[in-house]
Structure 1
Amino acid sequence: MAAHRPGLRIGGWLQVAASLLWLPQAALIAQAVGRLADGGGVEAVVWPAALVLGLGLARAGIEAAGSRLAFRAARATLSDLRDRAVSALSAGSPLDSARPASGLAASVIAEQADTVTPYLARFQPARLRATVVPLVILAAVLPLSWTAALVLLIAAPLIPIFMALIGWRAKAASEAQMVELGGMNAFLLDRLRGLATIRGLGAVDLTARRLRANAEALRRRTMAVLRIAFLSSAVLELFAALGVAMVAVYIGFHLLGQLPFGAWGAKLDLAQGLFILLLAPAFFEPLRDVSAVWHDRAAGEAAIGALHRLSLHRLALPGAAGDVESAANPPATRPAGPPAVRIEGLGFRHAGAGAAVLEDFDLTVAAGERVALLGPSGSGKSTLLALVAGLAPAGSGRISIGDVALGPETSAALRRRMAWIGQRPHIFAGSIRTNIALGRPDVTPTDVAAALKVVALDKVASARSDAEIGEGGTGLSGGEILRLALARAAADGRTDLLLVDEPTAHLDGATAAEVTDGLIAVAAGRTLILATHDPVLAARMDRIIRLEARS
């Protein structure tokens, strides 16, 4: 965010400069009217009118330039905040119980984050104008009339005082609204995922009532925010109108001779009085602008806070803490050849579980070796893979990959060497080739073509050409989906450690054989650790490690 502050500051100061151009415009207008009142002809106002027009055009141009600059800097800042939040979420573990709900994270990043732009692009410049412009106008009015300056000076502080009091409540209301919105999105996403189960259990009406209650709570929160926004506008308009009216009354009676004081012992002429009257509304205009965007401040600060909380979310485990920045900039070089994996005294226990899944576990996998972890459900096969990948916190022990200990400082570079292939790889809507490349700039079309050939998926890709496949792999068989996931790993030449979890589960014998052939082809020149129930697949590996379920 700090990288874009100069753009925000420059944009704000340009808008301040545009607002201050009203002072010479007002002076020219007042002088022209004064000359006409003194009997001057049209020629007395031609040049002032031309200068007013020129200043007006300059003011519009400077205002537009400042607004554009502030908007671009605000959008860039929002992009950075979103990037940090997404990077933090992607670097965290899917096994983290404290991980933000998907609906909440999506609501913050995609919906609530949009309020950051008006906060930075509109409220921040408006606040700067409200700080500078009234002081300059006060300095211009004071030499002419201390009474008018005093009226403005008394009326002005009341506005920010009441606005601050309202602002505290507005921020709290906006934060409560965003929490309610995120909770509702999380609830809705969870229920959509489990719609079949809800129908099977006959809980449709109960879910609908819960959703209706959430919607009503969100409506109340939203109306509370709107009420506060309208209240802030009403407060400002009241004090601004009273301030301008008091100045106008004083100037009028002063020019009529009824209030002869307040002009430093002299009497204001028509031009001076009109100049003060023209500046009085401009004195309150920046404060009025702040009021108009006050709700942007409350919503924007709440959104920035929510994005920061997502950005700071880390799982305190080896390989998941403090490595978002390093993950974006992995080391340019690493040791040649596939890594060996060494596990010493590893222990792990699920939260709240009585027995440990792994206790004092040792395993050494040689560089380029293919090892199968074979055992029943609950024996810790998938957990062991997650620990090696740094996706779960080890209770004790040490994991080394290529003679480098897995830890917070090394996890990003080590994970860059890994490819994880689960039972149900996610397939994005798009072509087969784009699903393999995944937007990685280092994966070329040649790499994709070679990877398709390695997993024997080239004929399927050629037959489909660039035809779209649906989200989740609609249009592909289960075996083709798994081979596509294998091709993703094969296309990236920098991955030399494969972690594969039950690749042949739920597949028939012929399809499982195809996936196994593809896996072995991809594993050539790489280290492979495989978790499986399938003895046929395990028999194709170099070594089998049998794990027993712990009671």
Structure 2
Amino acid sequence: MQAIAGAAAWLKDQRRTVKSHLQRALLVGALGTALLAVQSWLLAWGLNQVIFLHAPARRLWPALLGISALALARWGLGWLGRRCSQAAGAAVVLRMRQQLLAKIQRLGPAWIAHRDSGELVTRVVDGVETLGPYFGRYLPQVSAAGLYPLVILVAVFPADWVAGLTLLVTAPLIPVFMVLLGRLAEQASQRRWQMLTRLGSQFMDVLQGLGTLRLFGAAQAARQRLAGAGEGYRRETMGVLRVAFLSSLVLEFFATVSIAVVAVLVGFRLFFGHEVFLFGMFVLLLAPEYFLPLRAMGALRHAKMDAVAFAEDAVKLLAEDEPEPARGKARPGGEAITVTLRGVTFEHDGGRGGLRDLDLTIAGGCTLALVGPSGAGKSTLLSLLLAQSRPSAGSLLINGVPLAEVDLTWWRQQLSWVPQKPRLFIGSVADNLRIARPDATQSELEAAASKACLLPVIEALPQGWDTPLGEQGYGLSGGEAQRLALARAFLRNTPVLILDEPCQALDGDTAARVEQALQAYGRGRTVIQAVHRLEQARQSDAIAVLEHGRLAAFGRHDVLLAEGGLYAQLWQQGVLA
């Protein structure tokens, strides 16, 4: 219940941001309802003239023209009201998507790495879209249900106070039954939303692991699990719709009964001569319109349920604790950048892995290879250097200045980063490479691609540099995508280069050529790389051997071999990971 109350309060806060749009939609609708009353009066007057007074046709033309003009005016007002309502919904969706993306960006890559990507996608894409119908249709209809019937009552009471009183007494029955049915509907909608987020997570897992599933012959089983989850989601969706249809049925029943009561009262009073046909017909024309806003609100109740279900998740996400923003302004000088770690400790959630009291100096202009068993802390150290995470103890210095005091924008401008699994985006090959430098010329692109041994691959593509790549670099092999990421680093041309096994997905001949290019590129730069290939460690200026988050050994290849420690064992096994 607290979660629902928090979601309702959050939705109320969002409503204030589009208050002007909603108010305009409400006023336009109220004016349209007033014109409807005038139109109904003209229609009732015309019928009275034809049926009882046998008026000639020429007397009806003004009324017919007025009815036509009013119908056209109401259509225009209806269009304008919908535009205002839709603008409210679109504004909230756009702003909320921006807020969620900004929040996720502030939480950072370290937070994202421990969250389910499918769930995040479902929240930011499908979840945010539920706010459109809520603010663009449901809320305007709630306001209309409160105001438009009052406008009709103002018109009905002077014509027939008995019918007006009947409408006034029967109207509250509809909201009462909406509340009674609302609890059941909200529970069903929350179950549906939870199932949708799980389904999104499962789908993303299957997509990302499709190669593994096919290799082990488990693709069919995964398909069946997805089909089962999809069927469960279908059942939950149908359950929500059943509740919505039941609610609509109840509302229609009571609205129909109320209109029938009004019609019976008007009929009996006409029969006994206590009612004038003109006033009775006027009331009967307006009675269905009196209940229409209430009935429409009930039909849109599922929009509220979906929005409340999403709002609960949105409130939790927006309340996540963010890392304290960096406020450093220092920009350490020097020809080369030296990185020093003093007693650096970092623990992942649950206390697993990380670094423990690590002391290490990475001299400026030198190449350092990080080696060690899986889980030794290599990736954690790279994450700290990239300022994606912060140490829980100790300090990381850039040319003697603590990283906490350094301008992070400046620091990241000094870095080039080649991850183990590079991220490629929808766009052309040139677009993906220009992420490193948007203003790069074509000759600079070709030079960077040539260093990464990628130029022949690009030239063989159907459209060359303009060949479109799909999400995750669809159309390039793993090795080709790795080379494109290396070309980005060459194009960026920064004093610090950080790599996480840059040649892992390359064949031996290509890897050798890329390593030569890296050696040439790295002269005079600070290069830090987590390596698995023996030659990469051997050719480095220094090697840091990590074990259980601690520095087990440090030195050159031949010195570490002579010491006979962990590095020598890994070398003898022929693997450094």
Deviation at 1:176, TM superposition (A): 0.8
Matches within 5 A, 1:140-289: 140-194=155-209, 207=222, 210-211=225-226, 213-257=228-272, 260=274, 269-289=276-296
Matches within 5 A, 1:307-456: 307=314, 309-310=316-317, 313=320, 318=323, 340-352=338-350, 357-365=354-362, 370-392=367-389, 394-401=391-398, 415=412, 418-428=415-425, 430-438=427-435, 448-449=445-446, 451-452=448-449, 455=452
| Residues 203 and 375 of structure 1: CA distance in aligned 2, closer, same or farther (over 3 Å) | closer
Range moving further from structure 2, 341-350 or 534-543: 534-543
The secondary structure found in structure 2 opposite 1:169 is helix
Q: Distance in 2 between matches of 1:161 and 1:417?
A: 64
Asked if 1 retains the 8 angstrom alpha-carbon contact of 2:453 and 2:514, the reply is no
Find the partner of 1:130 among 138, 142, 145: 145
- Post-superposition Cα deviations, 1:244-302, rounded to whole Å, max 9, x if no partner, equal 112222222223336x5xxxxxxx53322222222211111111221222212222332
Deviation at 1:79, TM superposition (A): 3.1
| Residues 416 and 468 of structure 1: CA distance in aligned 2, closer, same or farther (over 3 Å) | same
Asked if 1 retains the 8 angstrom alpha-carbon contact of 2:371 and 2:545, the reply is yes
Deviation at 1:385, TM superposition (A): 0.7
Asked if 1 retains the 8 angstrom alpha-carbon contact of 2:424 and 2:472, the reply is yes
What is the aligned partner in structure 2 of residue 531 from structure 1?
Answer: 530
Q: Distance in 1 between matches of 2:404 and 2:184?
A: 44
Range moving further from structure 2, 397-406 or 118-127: 397-406
Name the amino acid aligned to 1:345: G
What is the aligned partner in structure 1 of residue 554 from structure 2?
Answer: none
The secondary structure found in structure 2 opposite 1:21 is helix
The secondary structure found in structure 1 opposite 2:172 is helix
Q: Distance in 1 between matches of 2:511 and 2:497?
A: 18
TM-score of the two chains, using structure 2 as the length reference? 0.78
| Residues 181 and 449 of structure 1: CA distance in aligned 2, closer, same or farther (over 3 Å) | same
Q: Distance in 2 between matches of 1:83 and 1:403?
A: 38
Q: Distance in 2 between matches of 1:65 and 1:186?
A: 40
Asked if 2 retains the 8 angstrom alpha-carbon contact of 1:92 and 1:391, the reply is no
Matches within 5 A, 1:484-503: 484-492=484-492, 497-503=496-502
The secondary structure found in structure 2 opposite 1:545 is strand
- Post-superposition Cα deviations, 1:8-48, rounded to whole Å, max 9, x if no partner, equal 54345434433332122122223333444344332332112
Asked if 2 retains the 8 angstrom alpha-carbon contact of 1:346 and 1:398, the reply is yes
- Post-superposition Cα deviations, 1:95-138, rounded to whole Å, max 9, x if no partner, equal 54884422333333344443332222222222221121112212
What is the aligned partner in structure 2 of residue 265 from structure 1?
Answer: none
Name the amino acid aligned to 2:300: V
Name the amino acid aligned to 1:27: W
Q: Distance in 1 between matches of 2:25 and 2:208?
A: 45
Q: Distance in 2 between matches of 1:457 and 1:198?
A: 30
Q: Distance in 1 between matches of 2:410 and 2:100?
A: 20
| Residues 469 and 280 of structure 1: CA distance in aligned 2, closer, same or farther (over 3 Å) | closer
Find the partner of 1:298 among 298, 305, 326: 305
The secondary structure found in structure 2 opposite 1:142 is helix
Deviation at 1:206, TM superposition (A): 6.1
The secondary structure found in structure 1 opposite 2:513 is helix
Name the amino acid aligned to 1:42: A
Matches within 5 A, 1:66-145: 66-89=81-104, 92=107, 96=111, 99-145=114-160
What is the aligned partner in structure 2 of residue 264 from structure 1?
Answer: none
Range moving further from structure 2, 438-447 or 5-14: 438-447
Asked if 2 retains the 8 angstrom alpha-carbon contact of 1:486 and 1:518, the reply is no
Q: Distance in 2 between matches of 1:440 and 1:229?
A: 53
| Residues 74 and 517 of structure 1: CA distance in aligned 2, closer, same or farther (over 3 Å) | farther
* Pairs aligned (count): 531
Asked if 2 retains the 8 angstrom alpha-carbon contact of 1:347 and 1:359, the reply is yes
Is the counterpart of residue 20 in structure 1 residue 34 in structure 2?
Answer: yes
Range moving further from structure 2, 8-17 or 216-225: 8-17
Deviation at 1:229, TM superposition (A): 0.5
Q: Distance in 1 between matches of 2:19 and 2:439?
A: 32
Name the amino acid aligned to 1:250: L
Q: Distance in 2 between matches of 1:117 and 1:231?
A: 24
The secondary structure found in structure 1 opposite 2:130 is helix
- Post-superposition Cα deviations, 1:404-423, rounded to whole Å, max 9, x if no partner, equal 75569976775565443112
What is the aligned partner in structure 2 of residue 33 from structure 1?
Answer: 47
The secondary structure found in structure 2 opposite 1:138 is helix
Name the amino acid aligned to 1:483: R
- Post-superposition Cα deviations, 1:355-374, rounded to whole Å, max 9, x if no partner, equal x6422113344565543324
Residue segments in structure 1 that go unaligned for 5+ positions in a row: 261-267
Q: Distance in 2 between matches of 1:403 and 1:66?
A: 63
Range moving further from structure 2, 61-70 or 476-485: 476-485
Asked if 1 retains the 8 angstrom alpha-carbon contact of 2:341 and 2:361, the reply is yes
Deviation at 1:91, TM superposition (A): 5.1
The secondary structure found in structure 1 opposite 2:96 is helix
Q: Distance in 2 between matches of 1:78 and 1:285?
A: 28
Matched-pair identity in %: 36
What is the aligned partner in structure 1 of residue 80 from structure 2?
Answer: 65
Q: Distance in 1 between matches of 2:477 and 2:147?
A: 66
Q: Which of the pair is proportionally richer in helix?
A: 2
Is the counterpart of residue 43 in structure 1 residue 53 in structure 2?
Answer: no
Deviation at 1:228, TM superposition (A): 0.7
Asked if 1 retains the 8 angstrom alpha-carbon contact of 2:436 and 2:492, the reply is no
Asked if 1 retains the 8 angstrom alpha-carbon contact of 2:370 and 2:530, the reply is yes
